[in-house]
Amino acid sequence: MKKINTYAVVGLGGRARMYLDAFAKSYCAQSRLVALCDRNQGRLELAAQFPAVAPFAPRLYSDLDFDRMIAETKPDTVIVVCQDSAHDTYICRAMELGCDVITEKPMTIDAVRTQRILDTQKKTGRKVRVTFNYRYSPPRTQVKELLMSGVIGDILSVDFQWMLDTYHGADYFRRWHRNKSNSGGLFVHKSTHHFDLVNWWLSAMPNEVVATGHRRFATPATAQRLGLHQPGPRCTGCAEATTCPFYLDLGANEELNALYRQQESFDGYHRDQCIFGPDIDIEDSMQALVNYDNGATLKYSLNAFCAWEGYAVQFNGTLGRLEHKCEETVYINGDGTVPGALKEEGTSIRIYPTRKPAYEVPVWTGEGGHGGGDDVMLRDLFAPEGDDKYLRDADHRGGAASILCGIAANRSIAEGGWVKVGGILNGLERPNYTAMPSSSTPIRLPLRA
Ligand SMILES: NC(=O)c1ccc[n+]([C@@H]2O[C@H](COP(=O)([O-])OP(=O)(O)OC[C@H]3O[C@@H](n4cnc5c(N)ncnc54)[C@H](O)[C@@H]3O)[C@@H](O)[C@H]2O)c1
């Protein structure tokens, strides 16, 4: 008989729903939800009432009762989906109490917390899985397939631009993410996805990082330029509600109302803080150069107030160039819409073999959240079928390697200059990446015509 795996989920906001739905709808034969934990009592009780959750009748615990939850419900695995700055506490404690861990990205937000996770994992020998859903999005997996095939040879440089548009991008400045002490800033919170993709695409480790970052749009000065003279601390009750293009009416959306507005009295958290607030300390425009241990260099940018949502990435190899562009649908986190689905007409992959005609590659497609990656990842998490040739299941090593780039970038912004990644952590082992075309492979190019 197949073993039933038992799970506890910590953090019951917008993202947790993907996991809760998965247990009920697709993986009920092999998974059982035994406990829920959140520091907000209202969201905790709300989650227990979801149609997907109620049949499991999980036991409910506050954040202060985490140890008691583990002792009483004995989950095999704890799924950590709370605010980033608290990930390390639950990851480490769960391992110390004998559980494996699945954690949302970013694994954590700074070097001290990352070191604690690495040390605790080593001491306990438990498994940590970091859910990098972007690796599972079909076109991003396809890029990995193409690079592994050697079609452009070994990669010498990468240009990668990520765009958040004025709906989705603004949302990071309304929520807890607006402070580095909660999220590590977007260089950690958001770029962890992107640095992980590059690390994994190249099967390489970052060596050194130099970065700049600024807040240019989400500022009181922009509010003035938009003609907003009296913005309040939050959208609710704001004098500029009828004129501000960033006004969010939490009460008008059923999901946002239930998940956040109705739960404010429990912890005082406001999901609709003003994006022009003076207390924001994260950047909205970031650039980094990363030198890799295989000799490749990444030139990366993330901008949070763009005219379209998605990314463009270009790889220059010894045998050619690969260009991939992807437009995504726009969403507000937790509003019940599908987050970041692919726009097929805006997604392309083109190969430029050196000194030969370029050609378009038909793009692998997928439906659902985050470029079609969420559903594929859930299957790999809860009902894996055989070996994965792309090695998409990241552990603590991949989780650390991706946030290291952001941590180094934050340090470079604060102190200036190149930051050596190797000096930041002790005992980080190389992630389990796939083999790539060897740099000793002969290069054969057509002679000049
Ligand atoms: N992989 C992805 O594409 C993706 C998408 C969205 C969110 N996420 C990640 O999921 C996590 C949650 O994000 P979200 O959008 O659901 O945020 P959210 O604000 O909607 O929910 C966070 C929840 O955590 C709870 N919480 C906060 N601090 C806590 C603590 N110390 N102990 C227990 N509970 C605590 C809050 O009360 C809330 O219920 C974040 O780490 C985020 O990076 C990942």
pLDDT in tens, 91-120: 999 999 999 999 999 999 999 999 999 999
Is the CB–ligand 1 distance for residue 180 below 6 Å? no
CA of 274 to the centre of ligand 1 (A): 20
For 272-295, the pLDDT digits (tens) are 999 999 999 999 999 999 999 999
Helix (H, G, I), strand (E, B) or coil at 156: strand
Q: Write the CATH number for 284.
A: 3.30.360.10
Are residue 62 and residue 96 in the same domain, yes or no? Answer: yes
Q: Do 396 and 166 meet the contact criterion of CB atoms below 8 Å apart?
A: no
Are residue 213 and residue 225 in the same domain, yes or no? Answer: no
pLDDT value, residue 345: 81
Q: Which residue stretches of 26-65 are H helix? A: 41-49
Atom of ligand 1 nearest to the CA of 43: 39
Are residue 111 and residue 30 in the same domain, yes or no? Answer: yes
Which of 104, 134, 191, 329 best tests ligand 1's pocket when mutated (most atoms within 8 Å of CB)? 104
Is the CB–ligand 1 distance for residue 256 below 6 Å? no
pLDDT value, residue 449: 60
Tell me which residue has tokens 């290069």: 443
Count of domains for the chain: 3
Q: Looking at the predicted structure, is the pLDDT value of residue 254 above 80?
A: yes
CA of 214 to the centre of ligand 1 (A): 25
Whether residue 152 is contained in a domain is answered as yes
Whether residue 445 is contained in a domain is answered as no
* Protein residue with its CA nearest to atom 17 in ligand 1: 13
| Band (437; pLDDT cuts 50, 70, 90) | confident
Q: Write the CATH number for 49.
A: 3.40.50.720
For 362-400, the pLDDT digits (tens) are 999 888 888 888 999 999 999 988 899 999 999 999 999
Name the average pLDDT for the chain. 95
Are residue 113 and residue 156 in the same domain, yes or no? Answer: no
Are residue 343 and residue 299 in the same domain, yes or no? Answer: yes
Report field, pTM of the whole predicted structure over 0.95: yes
Query: Domain containing 155: what range?
Result: 134-217+280-373+393-423
Q: Do 257 and 235 meet the contact criterion of CB atoms below 8 Å apart?
A: no
Last residue of a domain, one of 132, 150, 175: 132
Residue 275 CA to residue 247 CA, distance in Å, equals 9
CA 192, 269, 191: angle at the middle one, nearest 5? 10
Whether residue 108 is contained in a domain is answered as yes
Whether residue 449 is contained in a domain is answered as no
| Band (341; pLDDT cuts 50, 70, 90) | confident
pLDDT value, residue 441: 79
Are residue 245 and residue 342 in the same domain, yes or no? Answer: no
CA of 157 to the centre of ligand 1 (A): 34
Is the CB–ligand 1 distance for residue 127 below 6 Å? no
Is the CB–ligand 1 distance for residue 374 below 6 Å? no
CA of 381 to the centre of ligand 1 (A): 19
Is the CB–ligand 1 distance for residue 86 below 6 Å? yes
Residue 448: is it exposed, middle or buried by C-beta count within 10 angstroms (0-12/13-18/19+)?
Answer: exposed
Are residue 99 and residue 142 in the same domain, yes or no? Answer: no
Last residue of a domain, one of 88, 111, 132: 132
Burial string for 72-110 (b: 16+ CB within 10 Å, else e) reads: ebebbbbbbbbbbbbbbbbbbbbbebebbbbbbbbbbbb
CA of 376 to the centre of ligand 1 (A): 21
Whether residue 384 is contained in a domain is answered as no
Are residue 22 and residue 151 in the same domain, yes or no? Answer: no
Q: Quick one: what percent of the chain has pLDDT higher than 90?
A: 88
Q: Do 7 and 40 meet the contact criterion of CB atoms below 8 Å apart?
A: no
* Protein residue with its CA nearest to atom 26 in ligand 1: 82
pLDDT value, residue 36: 98
217-221, 333-337, 383-387: range with highest mean pLDDT: 217-221
CA of 88 to the centre of ligand 1 (A): 13
Q: Looking at the predicted structure, is the pLDDT value of residue 448 above 80?
A: no
Atom of ligand 1 nearest to the CA of 176: 19
Whether residue 382 is contained in a domain is answered as no
Whether residue 112 is contained in a domain is answered as yes
pLDDT value, residue 1: 61
CA of 243 to the centre of ligand 1 (A): 30
For 348-366, the pLDDT digits (tens) are 999 999 999 999 999 998 8
Are residue 75 and residue 97 in the same domain, yes or no? Answer: yes
Are residue 148 and residue 72 in the same domain, yes or no? Answer: no
Whether residue 413 is contained in a domain is answered as yes
Are residue 254 and residue 357 in the same domain, yes or no? Answer: no
Helix (H) or strand (E) holding 200: helix 191-202
For 192-216, the pLDDT digits (tens) are 999 999 999 999 999 999 999 999 9
Lowest mean pLDDT among 120-129, 134-143, 253-262, 342-351: 342-351
Are residue 226 and residue 141 in the same domain, yes or no? Answer: no
- Helix, strand, coil % (nearest 5) of the chain? 35, 25, 40
More confident residue, 439 or 125: 125
Atom of ligand 1 nearest to the CA of 133: 1
Last residue of a domain, one of 267, 294, 325: 267
For 394-433, the pLDDT digits (tens) are 999 999 999 999 999 999 999 999 999 998 999 999 999 9
Q: Do 248 and 272 meet the contact criterion of CB atoms below 8 Å apart?
A: yes
| Band (44; pLDDT cuts 50, 70, 90) | very high
CA of 14 to the centre of ligand 1 (A): 7
